[in-house]
Every structure is written in structure tokens, then in C-alpha cells.
Amino acid sequence: MPVGFVPLNLRTGTPNFARLSASATWVALGVAALLIFVVFPVCNLLVPPGSALHISDYWITLFGKIMCYAIVALAMDLIWGYTGILSLGHGLFFALGGYAMGMYLMRSIGHEGVYQSDLPDFMVFLDWKAYPWYWRYTDHFWYAALLVVLVPGLLAFVFGYFAFRSRIKGVYFSIITQALTYAAMLLFFRNDTGFGGNNGFTDFKRILGFPITAPSTRMALFVLTGFALLAFLLIGRAIVDSKLGRVLTAIRDAETRVMFSGYNPLYFKLFIWTLSAVICGIAGALYVPQVGIINPSEMSPANSIEIAIWTAVGGRGTLIGPVIGAAVVNLGKSWFTQTLPEYWLFALGLLFILVTLFLPRGIAGLWKRRTS
Amino acid sequence: MSGMLTSGASDTSGGIGGRVLTDGVDISHRGILYLEGISVSFDGFKALNDLSLTIDAGELRCVIGPNGAGKTTMMDVVTGKTRPDLGTAYFGQTIDLTRLSEPEIADRGIGRKFQKPTVFTNHTVFENLELARKADKRVWPTLTARLDSTAHGRIMAVLETIKLAPEAGRLAGLLSHGQKQWLEIGMLLMQEPQLLLLDEPVAGMTDDETMRSAELFRSLAGDYTLVVVEHDMDFVARIADRVTVLHEGHVLAEGSMQQVQENEQVIEVFLGR
């Protein structure tokens, strides 16, 4: 057999290795679902704290947070790994989703804030008399949930339309997205824009009437996040395995050929870019009630760069890789920040260098190398 | 947003052939491509200077000329990559090429092969042809597209034509240079174009591959209209119906290979004064 020969499934035109690994993928997904939906809830809620099998709230919160990051890394993989467009502003979409959910949580506090006012504490503190127009109706959960999807989606659509139509590519696109998230951060830091300034939103009390710190609420959010992660993995897989997925990869590898084949790359990029932003927004909305705070630092350029690092460490263009990357890097981060806080950034930098030098295809590349 | 709404004509034909009398392009006056008074300049350099050229439907035209004569720029104008400063470019009697984008022009039936073979290196040969296939190329239909047996049959037919059937499952990036050239030609055939623009299609091919390419192009002429830019004069002599000589962005001579070779001006340009 010649080098690189892949047996072809002539009915679907897809290489057979995709079908061979399909069963392994289903097993992995099943195991993940079992862990998220059965093992973690049982070991956290039902197994008594003294037992060796007990999983503490600390780990539930940490894993819940990591799954949110994993969703973001997955979204990043769709646009960067598959389509070849590096965004260094994905933290913005994550934060926007988080802010929309955060405002709903602020308004759910009711009169139990420090000032016991109709308005959230930060508004009283900053001398606001009424809600600005953009926060109207955010006391309704479903409206806030709509904003979670619409705000990142619309921003990404409009920004993407002009950027892709102007054929802005490569490092120029990355720099502009970086500037975009930085500009948004400065805007959200201001006290007079109604986003809570540098303190952001915090001190949440309840979500949909349930106390937000109760173990059962925490577990519900954890399970919901796990469900979202698995759902986005399946949706992502369906997209990249479709003809559209092959067009995206073709855009990454030879955009002019795509154009002269009759596809308009603008709309394909816009589709995946907007979808990626919406997924980030949803991840942000799941993140905020679990960690209990959202502030403008989520929009700092460093956060967005970190998202790119998770994706690169895990392995671009594999979907599962970035999920693993987000988990590995963030577990490392949580260990370092507790034990050797001052060395974390060195470790992150070293990890990134080592992966770039020795694992250009990331952690997922290890597995692929072994099987091929 | 009009680009999203470009027509993706339905796909019915299974085999290759019968591409001259098809819908869309009005070739009632024999001509399929009309360039008139085209001028293009880049920073003062006139790449094309009042270029006028007519290609008849079904012919195999070779375009030759020294470096910088404007051969590639001419293809850029026809495929929408470059807009002319002056002049008109019509596909058939009715389609104004200067108003359409690259994907729209490709969709109307003009296929282009680049000087450097450009294929999707991380897709298999089969997938390359699948992606190029004439179909509704808007986002949503692409997401939901399934490969039916007609499409599959057509891909297999083109694989036979370009002699890459044994390599169907190989990644295109692993093909030899000549095979990549052939794959790119196969991708053009999948688009079911009426006009093929081929920029140095046999560059880097072995003698044997060049011979086979000559056979392929001769067999395509008639069913398709081909415009071939080539430096290899033996190859041009073997395949061309008619030859156009470009010099400094302008047509210097036109006719059979023999007529062109005997033209005084051509001899001057090629051999020097």
C-alpha cells in the first residue's frame, strides 16, 4: 500500500478510518455521559462526605467550570482548527453570554441586596435611577437566555461580515479580534456604561427560584453543562463530517480554489464564525452561575489567548483534542495556583513551547500517531 | 447579500460531454468568450493594453507569448480576479463577466486551472472531485448535501478520465506533481464548465504525462471550449486549433500554428531583432 493510502468507503466517499474510529468515539462518549450524568451526581449528592468515593463540591465546581472552557475550546476548534481562522477575541463572546445571564441573576436577587433597592447594588452605588434600555426585560429568564445567543451571534455576524468581505485574513484578522475584545473590556470597565464597572456582577442568590449555592442547584448546572458539552461535540462532529465541513477545511488549505470552484467563502466563514461565537456565549451563560461572578477581566486579551492555547495543546482539527486540552491546562492551572502560584505562567509558556515543538498536532495527535 | 442567492443549477447529467449546447450561456453567434478593448494597469505598468480576443465555442485555443505578455492577467480578468480599467468581457452574448464575482463566474461555467497546481491537500482525491462537483453551492444545501449514485457515478467517470481511479482514497497532498495537475483538471471537469482556462497545464510533467495530457485535451475539445496558456511549443503545435500570440498586453498575431510561426512580427518578438 502506498504511503498515506486510506481505504475509501465508496458509497459515502469518506475515508474508512472515520468509520473505524466511530465505534471508539461512541464508547468514549458513553463513558463521558456515564461519568457526568451518573457517577458525579451520585458520588457528590448520595455518597456521604466521609466515604472514599465522595466527590466534594470543590471538584464539582472545578469540573463544571472546565466543561464550560471545553465548550469554548471546541468552538475555537471549529473556526481555527477546521477553517484556519485564528480568533484572539473569543473571550469576548464568552463574556457577553456571561453578562446576559449575569444580569438575569442580578435581578433575581430582588430586594435582598445590601441597599435593598429595586435596582441591583452596583446601580445604586453608581447612582443609576433606572435600567438602561438594553437591560430591559432581563428579569425574564427566557429573554435573558435569548440575549445569551443573540448578542454574541449578532456581534459576530456583523463583525465577521465586514471582516471576511474585506478579505481580512491570517494575522491581521487575529489582531483585529484581539483589539475588539480589548475595546469591549475598556467599555465594560467604565462605570457609566451600566455593566457594573470593574466589579462586574456578583453575589447572586438564586436562579429560576432555586438557591444558587444549594448542592442540588450546583449539580443541576453541572449536569446541564455536561449535556451542552456532549451536544456540541455531536453537533460539531456532524458539521465537520458534512460536505460543508470539507468546504471549511478546503478554505483553510486553498481558499482561491474554493472560490474558483463556485463556493463563496464569505458565507461559509460567516456561518462557522457566528456559530462558534454563539457556542461561546452559551458556555459563558453556563459558567457565570457556577463560579458566581462575571467581570470585564474575562474580556482581557490574555484570556482569549489562553483559549487558543487550550486548543493548540489538545490538538487542532480533532474536536475531542481541544476538550482534552482545556481540561489538562485548567487542571494544571488549578494545581499550580494552589501550590506554586507564581510559576503558573512559566509552566503554561513551557507547555505551549513543548507542544509546539514536539506535538504539533497536540495531545490528540499522540493517539492518531499510534493508530496510523 | 446577493452572492448567497446565486443560482445553483440542478444537476442532471451523468457522463461527460454535450457541454456546448447547454443552458445559461448564449453561444448563438458561435463565440463563447468576447474580450474587447481590455486594459489593465498595475501602478502604471500596462499588463493588458487594448486586448481584443474572441474564442469560438468548442475550439481549443492556445495562447503563447513571452513572460509579462499578459497571459495570466487575461485569465484573471475572465475569472473575475482582476477588474479591467477599460473594455468589456462577455461570456456568450449576454453574461457580463466584469460584473460578477469569482464564485459567480465559476458557477456560470468557467473553470480555471492555476499555473501552480492548486488542490485540497488534506482531502482525498475523491473528496476533491466531490467538492468541485456542480451543485447548489450555498451554505445550507452544502451542509445537508448527500452523495447520490448519479454524483458518485460521475466522480468515478472523471477518475477514469484523469487516470486517478487507483488513487481515489489517497490524500491529494501525496500525489506527484503531474497527478496534481490532472486532479485539478478533473476538478474543473466536475464543475461541468463550458469554458476551461488552463494556465501551463503540462508544466513539470514527464514526457509521457505530457503526451497523455495532449490526448486528453484533444478529446475534450469540441465538447468543451479550452483556452490553454503554454510555453512548450511542441505541445502547442500538437493540440492547438488556433494560436494567439500576446505581446505587451496586446494580440500580436492569430491563426494556425504554422501561420503564426511564419509571421514576421512574431519572429521578431521571439527571436529578438
Please judge whether A2 and B101 are an interchain contact, meaning their C-beta atoms are less than 8 angstroms apart: no
Alpha carbons B189 and B253: distance in angstroms, whole number: 30
**Does residue A327 have a pLDDT over 50?**
yes
Nearest CA in chain B to A267: B139
Q: Is A344 on the interface with B (CB under 8 A)?
A: no
The DSSP result for B203-215, as a single string, is TT--HHHHHHHHH
Yes or no: say if B196 and B114 are a contact pair by the CB < 8 Å rule: no
Of A114-123, A253-262, B30-39, give the lowest mean pLDDT range.
A114-123
Please judge whether B103 and A249 are an interchain contact, meaning their C-beta atoms are less than 8 angstroms apart: no
Q: Which chain A residues are Cβ-neighbours of B2 within 8 angstroms?
A: none
How many Cβ atoms sit within 10 Å of the Cβ of residue B257?
A: 18
How many Cβ atoms sit within 10 Å of the Cβ of residue B104?
A: 20
Please judge whether A7 and B121 are an interchain contact, meaning their C-beta atoms are less than 8 angstroms apart: no
Please judge whether A262 and B103 are an interchain contact, meaning their C-beta atoms are less than 8 angstroms apart: yes
Q: Is A7 on the interface with B (CB under 8 A)?
A: yes
Nearest CA in chain B to A6: B169
Q: Which chain B residues are Cβ-neighbours of A4 within 8 angstroms?
A: 170-171, 174
Q: Report the residue from A3, A250, A262 with minimal CB separation from B120.
A: A250
Q: Across chain B, what does the average pLDDT equal?
A: 88
A residues 259-278 lying closer than 8 A (beta carbon) to B = 259-264, 266-268, 271
The C-alpha cell that represents B158 in the structure block = 472523471
Q: What is the pLDDT of residue B25?
A: 79
How many Cβ atoms sit within 10 Å of the Cβ of residue B196?
A: 25
Please judge whether A260 and B106 are an interchain contact, meaning their C-beta atoms are less than 8 angstroms apart: yes
Domain ranges of chain A: 56-300
Q: Is A140 on the interface with B (CB under 8 A)?
A: no
**Does residue B270 have a pLDDT over 90?**
no
Once rounded to an integer, what is the mean pLDDT over residues B162-190? 94
Q: Report the residue from A15, A246, A263 with minimal CB separation from B169.
A: A15
For residue A160, give how far its alpha carbon lies from the nearest alpha carbon of chain B (Å): 13
Pairing of strands B225-229, B60-64: parallel
For residue A354, give how far its alpha carbon lies from the nearest alpha carbon of chain B (Å): 25
Q: Is A171 on the interface with B (CB under 8 A)?
A: no
Q: Report the residue from A11, A239, A247 with minimal CB separation from B131.
A: A247
**Does residue A365 have a pLDDT over 90?**
no
The C-alpha cell that represents B186 in the structure block = 478533473
**Does residue B271 have a pLDDT over 80?**
no
Residue B54, H or E segment: strand B45-56
Residue B108, H or E segment: helix B102-108
A122 vs A86: which has the higher pLDDT: A86
Summarised one tens digit per residue, pLDDT across range B209-248 is 899 999 999 999 989 999 999 988 889 999 999 999 999 9
How many Cβ atoms sit within 10 Å of the Cβ of residue A171?
A: 9
Range of the domain at B222: 20-271
Measured in whole angstroms, how far is the alpha carbon of residue A292 from the centre of its chain?
17
Once rounded to an integer, what is the mean pLDDT over residues A128-140? 91
What is the ipTM score, two decimals?
0.87
Look at phi and psi of residue B200 and say left if phi exceeds 0, alpha if psi is from -120 to 50, else beta. Answer: left
**Does residue B105 have a pLDDT over 80?**
yes
Q: How far is CA B139 from CA B46, B142, B143, in A?
A: 39, 5, 6
Nearest CA in chain A to B8: A262
Once rounded to an integer, what is the mean pLDDT over residues A8-24? 53
Once rounded to an integer, what is the mean pLDDT over residues A352-363? 90
**Does residue A20 have a pLDDT over 60?**
no
Q: What is the pLDDT of residue B14?
A: 38
Summarised one tens digit per residue, pLDDT across range A81-96 is 999 999 999 999 999 9
Alpha carbons B271 and B273: distance in angstroms, whole number: 7
Nearest CA in chain B to A253: B120
Domain count, chain B: 1
Residues 6 or more apart whose CB falls under 8 angstroms from that of B75 comprise: B81, B112, B197, B199, B227, B229
Please judge whether A261 and B137 are an interchain contact, meaning their C-beta atoms are less than 8 angstroms apart: yes
Residues 6 or more apart whose CB falls under 8 angstroms from that of B92 comprise: B24, B25, B26, B27, B31, B32
Once rounded to an integer, what is the mean pLDDT over residues A210-220? 94
Q: How far is CA A291 from CA A222, A286, A320, in A?
A: 11, 9, 24
CA atoms within 13 A on the CB side of B57: 21
Yes or no: say if B244 and B61 are a contact pair by the CB < 8 Å rule: yes
For residue A268, give how far its alpha carbon lies from the nearest alpha carbon of chain B (Å): 6
**Does residue A17 have a pLDDT over 50?**
no
Q: Which residues of B touch A (CB under 8 A)?
A: 3-4, 6, 79, 101-103, 106-107, 111-112, 114, 118-124, 126-127, 130-132, 134, 137-139, 142-145, 147, 152, 155, 168-171, 174, 187, 191
Alpha carbons B220 and A91: distance in angstroms, whole number: 53
φ, ψ dihedrals at A120, nearest 5°: -60, 155
A364 vs A152: which has the higher pLDDT: A152
Q: Which chain B residues are Cβ-neighbours of A5 within 8 angstroms?
A: 169-170
Q: How far is CA A197 from CA A111, A132, A267, B96, in A?
A: 21, 15, 36, 55
Residue given cell 486517478 in the structure block:
B164
Q: Report the residue from B101, B114, B124 with minimal CB separation from A8.
A: B124
Q: Across chain A, what does the average pLDDT equal?
A: 91
Residue A62 corresponds to which amino acid?
Answer: L
Please judge whether A261 and B169 are an interchain contact, meaning their C-beta atoms are less than 8 angstroms apart: no
Q: Which chain A residues are Cβ-neighbours of B169 within 8 angstroms?
A: 5-8, 15
Kindly report the three-state secondary structure assignment for every residue of chain A.
Answer: CCCCECCECCCCCCEHHHHHHHHHHHHHHHHHHHHHHHHHHHHHHHCCCCCCCCCCHHHHHHHHHHHHHHHHHHHHHHHHHHCCCCCCCHHHHHHHHHHHHHHHHHHHCCCCCCCCCCCCHHHHHCCCCCCCHHHCCCCCHHHHHHHHHHHHHHHHHHHHHHHHHCCCCHHHHHHHHHHHHHHHHHHHHCHHHCCCHHHCEECCCEECCEECCCHHHHHHHHHHHHHHHHHHHHHHHHHHHCHHHHHHHHHHHCHHHHHHCCCCHHHHHHHHHHHHHHHHHHHHHHHHHHHCEECHHHHCHHHHHHHHHHHHHHCCCCCHHHHHHHHHHHHHHHHHHHHCHHHHHHHHHHHHHHHHHHCCCHHHHHHHHHHC
Nearest CA in chain A to B112: A260
Alpha carbons A157 and A151: distance in angstroms, whole number: 10
Q: How far is CA A301 from CA A91, A177, A254, A329, in A?
A: 8, 9, 29, 18
A residues 144-163 lying closer than 8 A (beta carbon) to B = none
Q: Tell me, yes or no, whether B10 lies in a domain.
A: no
What percent of chain A has a predicted confidence (pLDDT) above 90? Answer: 77
Q: What is the pLDDT of residue A6?
A: 44
Residue given cell 482539527 in the structure block:
A317
Nearest Cα to Cα of residue B92 among B26, B175, B155, B46: B26
Please judge whether A15 and B124 are an interchain contact, meaning their C-beta atoms are less than 8 angstroms apart: yes
Q: Tell me, yes or no, whether B55 lies in a domain.
A: yes
**Does residue B10 have a pLDDT over 90?**
no
Q: Is A239 on the interface with B (CB under 8 A)?
A: yes
Residues 6 or more apart whose CB falls under 8 angstroms from that of B169 comprise: A5, A6, A7, A8, A15, B124, B125, B126
**Does residue A306 have a pLDDT over 50?**
yes
For residue A10, give how far its alpha carbon lies from the nearest alpha carbon of chain B (Å): 8
Q: How far apart are the first and last CA of chain A?
A: 13
For residue A156, give how far its alpha carbon lies from the nearest alpha carbon of chain B (Å): 16
For residue B140, give how far its alpha carbon lies from the nearest alpha carbon of chain A (Å): 8
Please judge whether B4 and A243 are an interchain contact, meaning their C-beta atoms are less than 8 angstroms apart: no
Q: Which chain B residues are Cβ-neighbours of A260 within 8 angstroms?
A: 79, 102-103, 106, 111-112
Nearest CA in chain B to A3: B174
Residue B195 corresponds to which amino acid?
Answer: L
Yes or no: say if A160 and A273 are a contact pair by the CB < 8 Å rule: yes
φ, ψ dihedrals at B123, nearest 5°: -115, 155
- Whichever domain contains B204, its CATH number is 3.40.50.300
φ, ψ dihedrals at A314, nearest 5°: -75, -35
- Residue A126 pLDDT grade (very low, low, confident, very high; cuts 50, 70, 90): confident
Residue given cell 492547438 in the structure block:
B240
Q: Which chain B residues are Cβ-neighbours of A3 within 8 angstroms?
A: 174
Once rounded to an integer, what is the mean pLDDT over residues A261-271? 97
Residues 6 or more apart whose CB falls under 8 angstroms from that of A166 comprise: none
- Residue A304 pLDDT grade (very low, low, confident, very high; cuts 50, 70, 90): very high
Alpha carbons A250 and B122: distance in angstroms, whole number: 8
- Any bridge partners for residue B245, and if so which? B64, B253
Residue B244 corresponds to which amino acid?
Answer: T
Q: Is A253 on the interface with B (CB under 8 A)?
A: yes
- The count of CB pairs under 8 A between chains A and B is 115
- Residue A371 pLDDT grade (very low, low, confident, very high; cuts 50, 70, 90): low
Summarised one tens digit per residue, pLDDT across range A167-210 is 999 999 999 999 999 999 999 999 888 899 989 999 999 999 99
Alpha carbons A206 and A211: distance in angstroms, whole number: 4
